Amino acid sequence: MSKSGRGNPPKHSQFKKGVSGNPAGRPKRKRKAQLVRHIISKVLNTSTTYREGGRTKRASRLELVLKRLVIGALEGDVKSADQLFKLRAVAENNNGARIEKIIAEGWIPDFPGQTGEEKTRAHARDNENDPTGFWESGSEATDPPGSVPASPKPPGDE
């Protein structure tokens, strides 16, 4: 006769050798930063319906936010354009994402005769980004000889 009672359960109800009592294992500790990043990613990647040109379309919320920034920048909103360039720089540094060309029509120069390339360099310089030709691969990051400086300097500042 075998013992039974507290501390000696019957053989048929004991854990079998090599089989865990918790098949899922110990839960992994989640760091809050990872959890928040996961939640943000999940929310931004959720597909959403929207209307464009009378048609219903679907896109992620992140795409819609970026689309809104582009539209704002093209309408002349300087803050939207600045935010778009900052996001682009972060994406390029973190993910290796690269935009080959940005074409802006109807932009307003800072001074008469300013070219788009000069304005891009001035913007990059003001925001401490690397202005070395993301619009041209392998080109020098200096202004062409005889050109007007990219960023106008107020008189008496020299």
State the residue range of the domain holding 68.
38-99
**pTM (2 decimals)?**
0.41
Residues 64 and 53 in one domain: yes
Residues ≥6 apart with Cβ < 8 Å to 111:
148, 152
pLDDT in tens, 85-124: 898 888 777 765 555 666 667 777 888 888 877 887 887 7
Residues 68 and 90 in one domain: yes
User: Which amino acid, residue 119?
Assistant: K
Residues 64 and 115 in one domain: no
User: If we measure between CA atoms, which residue out of 58, 98, 40 comes closest to residue 67?
Assistant: 58
Residues 82 and 108 in one domain: no
CB 47 within 8 A of CB 58: yes
Residue % of the chain over a pLDDT of 90: 23
Residues 53 and 86 in one domain: yes
pLDDT band at residue 131 under the 50/70/90 scheme: very low
pLDDT reported for residue 123: 77
CA within 13 Å, CB half, 55: 4
pLDDT band at residue 148 under the 50/70/90 scheme: low
Residues 95 and 110 in one domain: no
Residue 134, in any domain of the structure: yes
Residues 48 and 72 in one domain: yes
CB 138 within 8 A of CB 106: no
pLDDT band at residue 83 under the 50/70/90 scheme: very high
pLDDT in tens, 22-46: 777 777 776 666 678 788 888 989 9
Checking if the pLDDT of 78 tops 80, the result is yes
Task: List, in sequence order, the alpha helices (H) in 50-131.
Answer: 61-74, 78-95, 116-126
Residue 123, in any domain of the structure: yes
